[in-house]
Amino acid sequence: MIIYNVTANIEESIEQEWLQWMRETHIPEVMKTNMFLEAKMSKVLVEEEMGGVTYSVQYICESKSKLDEYQIKFAPELKSEYEKRYRGKFVAFRTLLEVIQEFK
C-alpha cells in the first residue's frame, strides 16, 4: 500500500475558503478518479516560522502502479486547477510513503 501525502501551507486569509474547496471540490474530484481507496485530511499542529496554516492530505493507494497511473492521467489537470485558484497563496510538497506494516 502507498500513501500519497500532500502537505500544503496556505495563507491564513484564505484558510476557510480553501478548506471548503478542498472538502467539497478538490478531494472529491481526486477520489472520483478511482485511483485511491480513501483520503484523510489533517491540520498540522506546529506553527511554521514562515506563517500560514499547514494541512496534510493523505491519499491511500493500493499500489505504486496505480499511483503512477494517477500521476499520468489525472494529476496534471487537478494540479493545474489548484495552482490557478491559489497561485501565490500556498506552498506544497508531496511525499510518497510505502506502508510496510500496520498496527492496530
Is pLDDT above 80 for 93? yes
Strand partners, 55: 8, 43
Q: What is the percent of the chain with per-residue pLDDT over 90, rounded to a whole number? A: 94
Q: What confidence score (pLDDT) does residue 16 get?
A: 97
Per the listing, cell 511554521 goes with 48
Q: What confidence score (pLDDT) does residue 89 get?
A: 94
pTM: predicted TM-score of the whole model, two decimal places: 0.92
Is pLDDT above 90 for 57? yes
Query: Cα(101)–Cα(99) distance, rounded to whole angstroms?
Result: 6
Domains, the chain: 2-98 (3.30.70.100)
